[in-house]
């Protein structure tokens, strides 16, 4: 059936459904209405779309992966908040540390999330294999995360120091040491967790893009809180 006739017939059917007098006009049209409607119903675009069972299985699999990851993320976030609430007195001892905290937690999730995304993409496009955890590409990305963590932590510490100094009239340079120490320590732990988890998920046939986002958010919050508390303890002891 020619494309022009098919388009004209589709327009006539649309008019019939909207205008009562359109049926008489359609009957006088040069298009063979009855036979062409039968042909049109067999066209691929006219038939209702049905999902293949494999597509449904794939959708169910994707949904389960994302749902489980989100539940774990929420649970981990509550755990990190509980740890922070228990030790809030130590955080308040350092001027500006409470200002530093939200940005520090966000930094950890963003850096680890970017690392997981780059590794996942490299695995998908076969730039690296699932056994090349120590490849040049992986090492370069890990080095980049350390550079990012160092730069961002110093920037956050400078902002926190300036706010506490100019608004509250009190500040301590120890906040720079706390930020850098916590950033480096948390980066070591998170890079290991992120790299190992991404490659493990890929080898198990799961999509790291569905799981690693909530995963790095959860582990990043927990690890960051512990590392900040440890850095406060070390600086206070020194």
Q: How many domains does the chain have?
A: 2
- Distance between CA atoms of residues 187 and 181, nearest Å: 10
Q: Is residue 51 part of a domain?
A: no
Are 26 and 104 within one domain? no
pLDDT score at 153: 92
Q: What are phi and psi of 228, to 5 degrees?
A: -65, -45
* Share in percent of the chain as helix, strand, coil (round to 5): 80, 0, 20
Are 110 and 210 within one domain? yes
- Distance between CA atoms of residues 50 and 48, nearest Å: 6
**Confidence (pTM):** 0.66
Neighbours of 115 (CB within 10 A): 24
Are 27 and 107 within one domain? no
Are 15 and 128 within one domain? no
Are 32 and 143 within one domain? no
Q: Is residue 29 part of a domain?
A: yes
Q: Is residue 49 part of a domain?
A: no
Under 8 Å between Cβ of 210 and 62: yes
pLDDT score at 69: 67
Are 67 and 117 within one domain? yes
pLDDT score at 204: 84
Q: With H, G, I as helix, E, B as strand and everything else as coil, classify residue 156.
A: helix
Tokens of 28: 């006088």
Q: Is residue 19 part of a domain?
A: yes
Neighbours of 233 (CB within 10 A): 13
Instruction: Say which CATH number the domain at 73 has.
Output: 1.10.357.20
- Distance between CA atoms of residues 119 and 197, nearest Å: 11
- Distance between CA atoms of residues 156 and 177, nearest Å: 12
Give the residue numbers spanning the domain of 184.
62-237
Q: Is residue 57 part of a domain?
A: no
Are 15 and 73 within one domain? no
- Distance between CA atoms of residues 86 and 212, nearest Å: 28
| Alpha-carbon dihedral sign for residues 138, 142, 143, 145 | positive
Compute CA 234 distance to the chain's CA centroid, rounded to the nearest angstrom: 33
Q: Is residue 176 part of a domain?
A: yes
Ordered per-residue pLDDT tens for the chain, 238 residues: 555 555 665 566 665 555 555 445 545 554 444 455 455 444 444 444 444 444 444 456 666 766 776 777 677 677 777 777 777 777 777 778 888 888 888 888 889 889 999 999 998 888 888 888 888 999 999 999 999 999 999 999 999 999 988 888 877 888 999 999 999 999 999 999 999 999 998 888 878 887 788 888 888 888 888 898 899 888 888 7
- Distance between CA atoms of residues 197 and 123, nearest Å: 13
Are 34 and 66 within one domain? no
């Amino acid at each position: 059936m020619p494309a022009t006739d098919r388009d004209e017939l589709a327009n006539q059917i649309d008019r019939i459904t909207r205008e009562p007098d359109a049926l008489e006009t359609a009957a006088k049209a040069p298009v063979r209405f009855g036979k062409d409607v039968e042909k049109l119903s067999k066209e691929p675009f006219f038939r209702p779309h049905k999902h293949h069972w494999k597509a449904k299985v794939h959708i169910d699999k994707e949904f389960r992966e994302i749902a489980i990851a989100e539940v774990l993320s929420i649970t981990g976030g509550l755990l990190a908040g509980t740890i922070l609430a228990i030790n809030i007195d130590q955080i308040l001892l350092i001027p500006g540390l409470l200002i530093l905290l939200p940005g520090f937690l966000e930094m950890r999730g963003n850096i680890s999330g970017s690392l997981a995304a780059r590794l996942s993409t490299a695995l998908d496009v076969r730039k690296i294999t699932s056994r090349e955890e120590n490849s040049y590409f992986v090492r370069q990305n890990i080095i980049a995360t350390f550079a990012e963590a160092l730069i961002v932590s110093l920037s956050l510490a400078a902002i926190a120091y300036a706010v506490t100094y100019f608004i509250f009239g009190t500040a301590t340079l120890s906040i720079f040491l706390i930020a850098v120490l916590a950033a480096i320590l948390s980066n070591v732990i998170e890079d290991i967790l992120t790299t190992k988890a991404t490659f493990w998920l890929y080898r198990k046939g799961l999509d790291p893009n569905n799981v690693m986002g909530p995963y790095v958010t959860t582990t990043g919050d927990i690890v960051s809180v512990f590392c900040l508390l440890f850095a406060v303890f070390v600086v206070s002891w020194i």
